[in-house]
Structures are given as C-alpha cells and as structure tokens.
Amino acid sequence: MTASPWRLAAAAAVLAILGFLTVRLVPIYLHNLELQRFVADISHRSAAATRSDDVLRAWVLNKANDLDLPVRAGNVDVQRTSDTVRVEVRYVVRVDLPLYTVNLHFYPGAGSQ
C-alpha cells in the first residue's frame, strides 16, 4: 500500500514547519538556560553577599547581552536577607514568525542558601 502524493506533501510540509520552528525557537531557549545557570552561579558565589546590587545586576546584564537576550536593568531584581542573596530576571523575547508573532516569557532566578 503506497501513500498518496498529497499525504507525502502534507507530511513534508509539517516536517518543514517543525524544522523552521526548531531553528527559530531552540536557540532562544538554550540562551535562557545558559542565563539561568549563570544566575544560579553568581547567586551562590560567596562574593555575591559582599557585592552591591548594582554589581550583580551589571553581571547579569552583561551575560544577557552576550547571549543577545533583551534584558534591561529593570528586569533584574536582587533580593537580600541576612544570609541569602536571590537574583531574579524577568524578560520577554518577541519572535516574529510568518503570519504569527509570539512573546516568550522567561523567569530565570536563583538564590543562595
């Protein structure tokens, strides 16, 4: 039993669309994952407790800039208690696709313990 030509064409179109979406979206998610790891790393550094909020914010902004992520100073929140430092980042990446635009919301954050 052979597949009809229209089924083969539909399958090829679906695979092409999935491939296109993968190429457009996966790098953004991988960059977010790298930013998440970086935020976790700096919040667990012993130096984080002695650095100012502005220094921690600058570290995150520099890393986000290196990753081409649209993070602004207002997107980085540093919270401190007597023995912990928590860094949270909230940002949106706008992805323009043919016939559709999607806003991807990311919330990487980590705190020391």
The rounded mean pLDDT for the chain is 90
Residue 3 has pLDDT above 60, yes or no: yes
Beta strands in the chain (DSSP E): 76-80, 85-89, 91-97, 100-106, 109-111
| Residues 75 and 90: beta-carbon distance below 8 Å | yes
- Sorted by where each begins, the domain ranges of the chain are 5-111
| Residues 67 and 31: beta-carbon distance below 8 Å | yes
Tell me which residue of 29, 34, 25, 88 sits closest to 66, measured CA to CA: 34
| Cα 110 to Cα 70: distance, rounded to the nearest angstrom | 19
Q: What are the tens digits of pLDDT across the range 48-77?
A: 888 899 999 999 999 999 999 999 999 999
Read off the pLDDT band of 112 (50, 70, 90). Answer: low
Read off the pLDDT band of 47 (50, 70, 90). Answer: confident
